[in-house]
Each structure stands twice: as C-alpha cells, then as structure tokens.
Amino acid sequence: MNAYLSRVIGEVKTKYANEPEFVQTVEEVLTSLEPVIEKHPEYENADLLGRMVEPERMFTFRVCWMADDGSWHTNTGWRCQFNGAIGPYKGGLRFQKDVNPSIIKFLGFEQTFKNSLTGLPIGGGKGGADFDPAGKSDAEIMRFCQSYMQALYRYIGPDIDVPAGDMGVGAREIGYLYGEYRRLKGTFENGVLTGKGLSYGGSRIRPEATGYGAVYYLENVLKHENEVIADKTIACAGFGNVTWGICKKAAELGAKVVTLSGPDGYIYDPDGVTTPEKINYLLEMRSSGRNRVQDYSEKFGVEFFPKEKPWGVKVDICMPSAMQNDVHLEHAEKIVKAGVKYYIEVANMPTTNEALKFLMDSDGVIVAPSKAVNAGGVATSALEMAQNSERLVWSEEQVDAQLRQIMNTIYAMSVEAAEKYGLGYNLVAGANIAGFQRVADAMMAQGVF
Ligand code: 2IT
C-alpha cells in the first residue's frame, strides 16, 4: 500500500484504538483512495489525509433535564464539526442510549464525504446524546431538547453549523430544538436546523427524502443491468423514517418491501408493505415508542422471527436501513447464498468491513455504499437551507425533481470516478473518491490549518 496512506491509517488505529467505529470507517474510506493518493504526491507534504481524519473541533457538554416525577437526570451531548472546507457543517443529531464519541466521529467522517457527493455547499458534522428517548413523555422530550439547545446554541447558526435529525430525532424534536434556539437568540434564523415542520420553514419531501433518494439511486443501478424496479422484492431492516420512505416509493413503482426489523426480530410480509394502511402503520409503530416490529406481525397477521435478522431471506435486493454494523460476515454469506443480486446499503455503515469486502468480492453481487445511497436526505436538507435563505417555499414537484437529479448525478459521478482510476464498475470506491476529491481540492486551495 502507498506509504503515506498506510502511515495515516496506522496512526489512527493506534491513537483511536478505543474508537472502533471511527477506525473502521477511516480504514474503509482511505484504503479505497489509494490510486488517488498515488497520483497526488503533493497531498503528503500538506498532510491532507492527516488533517482529514481529525475533526476541526468537537464539543462535549452536559445536558440536565427533569423527568415528569420531578427527578433530575444528566446526559452527555456531543457535536462534532468534522470538516467545513466546502460549506457550513451539516449533519444530524442522534439521541440513543449507546451513542459515544466513536459513533459521533464515524458519522461525522462519513457525513463529510456524503455531503460532498451531493454537489451542494455543505461541510460534514454530526452530534447527539446518550439519551434514550424510549418511553419518555412528550414533556420530558421537550425539556431534554430545550436543555440540549441551551448548551449548543452558541456554536451553531445558518452559516456555521446546521444540525438535523437522525435516530431518535424527528420533526417533534427538531421543533422543540428550534423553539429554544429562537427564544435564546431572539431571531427567526430558521436555516439553523433542517427537518423542520412545514409551518415554520421545513421543506416538502424532507421526511421522505432519504428513502426516496435511495430508491432513485437503486433505479440507476438497475438500469445499468438492464432491469427495472417493478416486481422486485426488497428486504429492508429497521422500521424508521428511512425504511418508511423506501416502502412508499417502492410501492409506488410496483416493487415490494417484504421484511422489516427491530431490536426484537424481523417480520416477513410476502404481500409486501405496499398499502397505505401498512405504510402508515410504520409511523404509528415509531411514535408509540415501543420500538418493536412484532406489533406489525400481530396487526397484519404475518410471520415474526424473534431475535433474528432478515439477512438470508430470498429477495432480489437487500437494503440494510437500520443501523451501523447490522450485517456481519455470517449474514453476508447468507445473503450471497440466498442469491441476492443487489446489496444497497442505506443506513450509515451498515456493513462490517469484513462483510463488505466479502460481498464486493462475490460474483454477481452489486454493492452500493450508504454514503451515496442515503445522501438524498442531507441533500434535501441543503434544499431546505436554500429555501430558508430565500424566504421561499418550493413545491413538492420542485424538490422531488431536484432530489432525483442529485441522486442521478451522485450515481454518475461515482461510476466515473472509479473508472477514471482504473477500478472498473465499483460504486463503493467511486463514491469515496468522488466525495474525497471536492473536499481535497477545497482544503488544498484554502491553505494548511
Ligand atoms: O445521516 C444523515 O445524512 C442524516 N442524518 C441527515 C443529515 C441532515 O443534515 O439532513
């Protein structure tokens, strides 16, 4: 391997040995950049890679909140401003009990490349808290969000850093966070957050955008194989916002999502999650806070597989859309054995590096990486920022057309980047290279800091 590249990876492995998710993404991304680094010896003198793997800054803060019974609780909040070379830091907030600095940093690093791929002026950031929203009342969520924003508001802004939702943070949480920001700042700077409700500056299609974008990207992949999406079967994981969007768009195009999963297991619905009743039920399951997919099997009389994952079910397409490291080598082996042709990552880093390599090396399996596939979400967030700064609201058709165009461009850029460096049809390396190039150019142009 290129000596500079392997030195940077080695340093990250040693320095961040206690941050496994962060090391995992750095290793995956940097390894695929080898042909680019070989071609650009000037990057080493400017220590471009060493700077890219170090966040520009990262905050840790205390978040205290009062439960309904009057007791006080303390959580930790984080915001990582990973890379601002091409625009204000942009990325979601994740509220989940096992969130830690490694997870926030891996997400921030991925976000930097993803945001670059959108072609829009957004840098990479991520944040969150080790707060468990499960079972919390609405008033508790509101107090938590208010306290969280009290700690964060000085460090964000429409031209500084623009948080959004991620797991555990949806339109309700964004509403409470924005309310507190507005109260503290005394200005209507709604470009400070995205994923807002329509009544105060949200964008049409933002709730659907990640799922819709993933399906638009998938259509490009299928087209390359002279196939169409109609009649395809899809295995999804999770039952959150992203999976909901995939179900909706897939159903509209005549395909069907046949599996959903949760921490309790997975369901198999041979007729597909295709009717409005079933698709809307996903929203109900999420807002119930029960975090169980078994409820779907009871409601619609389909099979439930406790404690199992849907990897190995016979489908045309797998779309892991739940969380990081959901698919391990043993699952990847089952996926290949089941004859799945398309492995389309959706959640951020849903595949271990070992499993990803196995899938990419398997004959007849086409692999697409999450940082390209799920980029429609943040791209639509950037469109929301554009609407906020114009003080305008675009129509559903306008936003959807731009989203589709962006996804087509991300696909085409990835194909082109891999080909340019002699890697053939490699969507994974292509996305890493295309995402890298824009950030690299901006960092080289702006001098060393
Ligand atoms: O992972 C992601 O891209 C997100 N959670 C969305 C980020 C955003 O700023 O919309």
Per-domain boundaries in the chain: 1-54+426-449, 55-189, 209-364
In this prediction, residue 281 has a pLDDT band, given cuts at 50, 70 and 90, of: very high
Helices (H) and strands (E) in the chain, counts: 18, 12
Q: Is the pLDDT of residue 27 over 90?
A: yes
In a mutational test of the pocket of ligand 1, which residue from 79, 89, 103, 210 has the highest number of ligand atoms less than 8 Å from its CB?
210
Calculate mean pLDDT across residues 178-206. 98
Q: If you measure from the C-alpha of residue 228 to the centroid of ligand 1, how many angstroms do you get, rounded to a whole number?
A: 28
Q: Domain 209-364, what fold?
A: Rossmann fold (3.40.50)
Catalytic residue among 126, 232, 256, 371: 126
Q: What is the Cα–Cα distance from 104 to 306, expressed in whole angstroms?
A: 29
Which residues partner with 162 through β-bridges? 90
Calculate mean pLDDT across residues 239-262. 97
Lateral strand order in the sheet of 123-129: 57-66, 72-83, 123-129, 89-95, 161-165
Pick the residue whose CA is nearest to atom 3 on ligand 1: 378
> What's the distance, CA 445 to chain centroid?
28
Comparing CA positions, the residue from 175, 320, 145 lying closest to residue 234 is 320
pLDDT given at position 227 = 98
Pick the residue whose CA is nearest to atom 10 on ligand 1: 378
pLDDT given at position 76 = 99
Q: If you measure from the C-alpha of residue 164 to the centroid of ligand 1, how many angstroms do you get, rounded to a whole number?
A: 6
Q: Give, for 24, the enclosing helix (H) or strand (E).
A: helix 20-32
- Residues near 428 by beta carbon (within 8 Å), at least 6 away in sequence: 32, 356, 360, 367, 368, 369
- Residue 374 CA, closest ligand 1 atom number: 3
User: Annotated catalytic, 126?
Assistant: yes
Residue 396: burial class (beta carbons within 10 Å; 0-12, 13-18, 19+): exposed
Calculate what percentage of the chain has a pLDDT beyond 70.
100
Residue carrying structure tokens 């997919």: 293
Pick the residue whose CA is nearest to atom 4 on ligand 1: 92
- Residue 107 CA, closest ligand 1 atom number: 1
Q: What is the Cα–Cα distance from 248 to 213, expressed in whole angstroms?
A: 12
Q: What is the Cα–Cα distance from 15 to 9, expressed in whole angstroms?
A: 10
- Helix, coil or strand: residue 417: helix
- Residue 378 CA, closest ligand 1 atom number: 10
Q: If you measure from the C-alpha of residue 210 to the centroid of ligand 1, how many angstroms do you get, rounded to a whole number?
A: 9
Q: What is the Cα–Cα distance from 243 to 234, expressed in whole angstroms?
A: 11
Comparing CA positions, the residue from 46, 114, 60, 39 lying closest to residue 83 is 114
In this prediction, residue 146 has a pLDDT band, given cuts at 50, 70 and 90, of: very high
User: Which CATH superfamily, name and number, covers 55-189?
Assistant: Leucine Dehydrogenase, chain A, domain 1 (3.40.50.10860)
- Residues near 204 by beta carbon (within 8 Å), at least 6 away in sequence: 198, 393, 394, 395, 396, 399
Q: In degrees rounded to 5, what are phi and psi of residue 72?
A: -100, 145
Residue type at position 350: P
In a mutational test of the pocket of ligand 1, which residue from 110, 120, 378 has the highest number of ligand atoms less than 8 Å from its CB?
378
Comparing CA positions, the residue from 188, 194, 157, 189 lying closest to residue 174 is 194
Q: If you measure from the C-alpha of residue 379 to the centroid of ligand 1, how many angstroms do you get, rounded to a whole number?
A: 8
**Could you tell me where the beta strands, DSSP code E, fall in 223-376?**
233-236, 256-262, 265-268, 303-306, 317-319, 342-344, 366-368
End-to-end CA distance of the chain: 27
- Helix, coil or strand: residue 215: helix
Q: Is the pLDDT of residue 77 over 90?
A: yes
Q: If you measure from the C-alpha of residue 285 to the centroid of ligand 1, how many angstroms do you get, rounded to a whole number?
A: 22
Give me the chain's average pLDDT, please. Answer: 98
pLDDT in tens, 332-375: 999 999 999 999 999 999 999 999 999 999 999 999 999 999 99
Q: If you measure from the C-alpha of residue 434 to the centroid of ligand 1, how many angstroms do you get, rounded to a whole number?
A: 19
pLDDT given at position 217 = 99
Residue type at position 258: V
pLDDT given at position 98 = 97
Q: Is the pLDDT of residue 223 over 90?
A: yes
pTM: 0.98
Comparing CA positions, the residue from 304, 250, 244 lying closest to residue 278 is 244
- Helix, coil or strand: residue 346: coil
Q: Which residues approach ligand 1 with their CB closer than 6 A?
A: 90-92, 111, 164, 166, 194, 348, 374, 377-378, 381
In a mutational test of the pocket of ligand 1, which residue from 93, 196, 381, 388 has the highest number of ligand atoms less than 8 Å from its CB?
381
pLDDT given at position 311 = 98
Q: Do domains 55-189 and 209-364 have the same CATH topology?
A: yes
Report angle CA 65, 240, 341 to the nearest 5 degrees: 145
pLDDT given at position 269 = 98
- Helix, coil or strand: residue 149: helix
Calculate mean pLDDT across residues 272-297. 96
Q: What is the Cα–Cα distance from 329 to 389, expressed in whole angstroms?
A: 46
Q: Is the pLDDT of residue 289 over 90?
A: no
- CB atoms near residue 110 (< 10 Å): 26
